[in-house]
Chain A
Amino acid sequence: MQASSDIYGVMAEFPSPSALIEASKKAREAGYRKMDAYSPFPIEEVSEEVAPGDTGVPRIVLICGLTGAATGFITQAMSQFVDYPLIIGGRPNNITNWAAMIPMTFEFGILFSAFGAVFGMLALNGLPTLYHPTFNAPRFERASQDAFFLCIESTDPLFDRAQTSQFLRSLNPLQVSEVTH
């Protein structure tokens, strides 16, 4: 496998979203797992083939949301009831007055969850990144406009420079190229 690790993978360009769906399906059937597709908009069927399973984002959001809500509630309760008790409007100054804390507890929960969703998604995606080998592929600048790519990576156990290229060529692509690191 000396030859294979010299390159990042083999990339094929397809003319339409449905061709890309078809190709990713065939690649999965052929046993390839380490692959990725590149498209100018999300195509759910492609994600199902090349990246099946859990995204991991909802778990992060749940944890962040609960942390936020707890932070919000504890900040209010500690400051109002313990650190500097202040009687306002003759209302009870203890935990039985929890209802007044709900609006801000909610806002804190939402705020932390939103940070979790955005930064969690970016972190799981490995973004921001300054460089990625796929940008070396010919015509790859069209992947953000109107072109559809499928890349089988050299880390896949079934990857073989010649055979994988041959396989991708059999899927009727517009072009097939090797992607250098």
Chain B
Amino acid sequence: MAQAQSIRPQSQPDTGDTYLLPGETYSSITSVIGDVPLTPPMKTPKGWIFGFAVSVALLMVFLVSVTWLLIRGVGIWGINIPVGWGMDIINFVWWIGIGHAGTLISAILLLLNQGWRNSINRFAEAMTLFAVACAGQYPILHLGRPWLFYWLTPYPNTHGLWPNFRSALDWDVFAISTYATVSLLFWIVGLIPDFATLRDRATNPLVKRIYGVAALGWRGSALHWHRYEMASLLLAGLSTPLVVSVHSTISYDFAISQIPGWQVTVFPPYFVAGAVFAGFAMVLLLMIPVRTFYGFESYITVRHLDVMAKVMLATGMIVVYGYFMEVFGSLYSSSKYEQYLLYNRLHGPSAWAYYGLLFCNAVAIQPLWFRRVRQNIPALMIISTIVSIGMWLERYVIIVISLEREFLPSSWDRYIPTIWDWSLYLGTMGLFFTLTFLFIRVLPMINIFEIRMYLHQETERAHRREAALHGHGHDHGHDHAHGTASAD
């Protein structure tokens, strides 16, 4: 498909037609990307210091919120009976959803042999890890006695008790911890050859030693690469069902319960699509400023933004289908509780959230059908922000609107988030951005060896095309046709 673009020999402006701007060599790729983490501490860009300072300030908000929570308990939040799940679970699902785009980019697009992913996979995987780290805080803090979280795991104990393995909440524990572990392994494996590059380029002996230890003695041997590629391919194959299972499991938290609006069979696929949708919006929101700030326009081209917008549009439309199915489900159910749920969404006290979600997730993404919008950076920033808000509202609608109107009208209540709900949310953003800033400072934020390999594949492709055009085989005497079909 579109990735069959050639590397043109002379310099060309970014017209949004290429995935790698021309004029790049193995050395230029290595030095431009690899030298960012090797910048001496005193030469750290001012913009980075400013961004990091803001993030750490927000991280302090997180620490204050958690400390107060540990002192006073979950009563400081707006949750009540019947709304026992409030912003803690909304934000949990929101964060974990954001993380899923990273796995989609690193695993599914690798299996589909989409070379353009090479430019964004490292960053997206880092985003996955940090988003999962934020998400993981919420269910644990919501436990009431967070220091006893290990009761959720099967361990031999003097009570002689085991966790209830037939509960979706316990499935969650294992799904998310497995997801976090596998994502971390995948990410670190991807970093090993790049650590070797940094080891070989570092001039400061201490820095050289640190990256040298992290590189584990990697020397780029063909024998090693062979096994390495096989391991990466297998990890991608394992991560693909894993990512689908994780958000499906999260949707089971709702779908296997009996609350109106939760007991919907469309939930697992609808949650997975929503996760990817929100995740791509976040990748765009993060990548656009970073690529401008560090001058990575050659590697993350307008073309990349264009395809990411397309994925966002496609998954957004799946989510819209989910909304239709929810409406259909409640009308067709002949259950007065399900039908009332729809009425309550449209006319109840939290109807603003439902209309807001329809606007953000269904209406606001429609301009993405046009190429001009997909390649317009300010427009993408605006749409991605709206989508991020919309996906937050979606979880609000699912969780709060259903719980506010219980089966018994006598137990109906409103959910009003308190300042501590908001401060914890802001605080997890601090955690997320602190980790992101540290990542872009000390690790190569684009996968260097995969970009080199992509350049090689594109060059070969250009040679082949040229040979085909001139009607004679080139003098290599070697058939490269299968070379590009390998794992990235």
Interface residues of A (CB under 8 A from B): 17-18, 21-22, 24-25, 36-47, 50-51, 55-58, 61, 75-76, 79-80, 83-84, 86, 88, 91, 97, 100-101, 103-104, 106-108, 110-111, 113-115, 117-118, 120-122, 124-125, 127-132, 134-135, 140-146
Contacts and interface: CB of A to CB of B under 8 A. Distances in A.
A18 to B, nearest CB: 6
A107 B241 CA distance: 10
Contact of A118 (B201, B235, B453): B235
Nearest to B478: A21
Interface string B195-223: 01101110000000000000011111111
A88 B245 contact: no
A40 B174 contact: no
Contact of B229 (A42, A110, A115, A127): A42
B449 interface: yes
A88 B185 contact: no
A110 B178 contact: yes
A128 B231 CA distance: 16
Contacts of B220: 38-40, 143-144
A17 B182 CA distance: 32
21 contacts: A17-B456, A18-B460, A18-B476, A24-B222, A44-B482, A51-B223, A57-B227, A58-B230, A88-B164, A91-B166, A100-B165, A104-B165, A106-B241, A107-B178, A121-B189, A125-B227, A127-B216, A127-B218, A134-B221, A142-B200, A145-B197
A167 B347 CA distance: 83
A142 B186 CA distance: 25
B145 interface: no
Contacts of B66: none
A39 B181 contact: no
Interface stretch (B22-30, B359-367, B379-387, B390-398): B22-30
B175 interface: yes
B336 interface: no
Interface stretch (B71-79, B132-140, B154-162, B465-473): B154-162
B227 A128 contact: no
Interface residues of B, number: 67
A103 B216 CA distance: 35
Contact of B162 (A17, A80, A104, A145): A80
Interface of B: 25-27, 30, 34, 154, 160-162, 164-167, 170-171, 174-175, 178, 181-182, 185-186, 188-189, 193, 196-197, 199-201, 216-231, 234-235, 238-239, 241-242, 245, 249, 252, 449-450, 452-453, 456, 460, 476, 478, 480, 482-483, 486
Contacts of A61: 234, 238
Contacts of B30: 40, 145-146
Secondary structure at the B interface, as helix, strand, loop or mixed, is: helix
Given A43-B456, A101-B166, 10 more contacts: A18-B478, A22-B476, A41-B450, A42-B449, A103-B252, A107-B245, A111-B178, A117-B234, A132-B217, A142-B200
Contacts of B189: 118, 121
A141 B234 CA distance: 29
Nearest to B252: A103
Contacts of A22: 476, 478
A114 B182 contact: yes
Given A42-B226, A47-B222, A110 B456 contact: no
A108 B174 contact: yes
A110 B230 contact: no
A56 B227 contact: yes
Nearest to B449: A41
Contacts of A47: 222-223, 225-226, 229
A79 B160 CA distance: 10
B197 A40 contact: yes
B456 A143 contact: no
B242 to A, nearest CB: 5
Contacts of B188: 118
Contacts of B199: 144
B172 to A, nearest CB: 9
B225 A114 contact: no
B178 to A, nearest CB: 4
A105 to B, nearest CB: 10
B166 A110 contact: no
B222 A106 contact: no
Nearest to A147: B26
Contacts of B186: 114
Contact of B174 (A42, A58, A104, A131): A104
Nearest to B189: A118
A8 B234 CA distance: 33
A25 B456 CA distance: 18
B174 to A, nearest CB: 5
A22 B477 CA distance: 9
B234 A42 contact: no
A74 to B, nearest CB: 11
B200 A141 contact: yes
Nearest to B182: A114
Nearest to A134: B219
Nearest to A40: B452
A127 B224 contact: yes
A40 B26 contact: yes
A115 B174 contact: no
Contact of A80 (B166, B226, B242, B456): B166
B231 A121 contact: yes
Contacts of B223: 36, 47, 50-51, 125
A88 B170 CA distance: 14
B235 A76 contact: no
A160 B229 CA distance: 33
Contacts of A124: 227
Nearest to B224: A125
Contacts of B174: 103-104, 107-108
Contacts of B242: 107, 110
Q: Which 9 A-B pairs have the closest CB atoms?
A: A128-B216, A121-B231, A79-B162, A146-B26, A129-B217, A42-B225, A41-B453, A141-B200, A37-B222
B222 A51 contact: yes
A114 B181 contact: yes
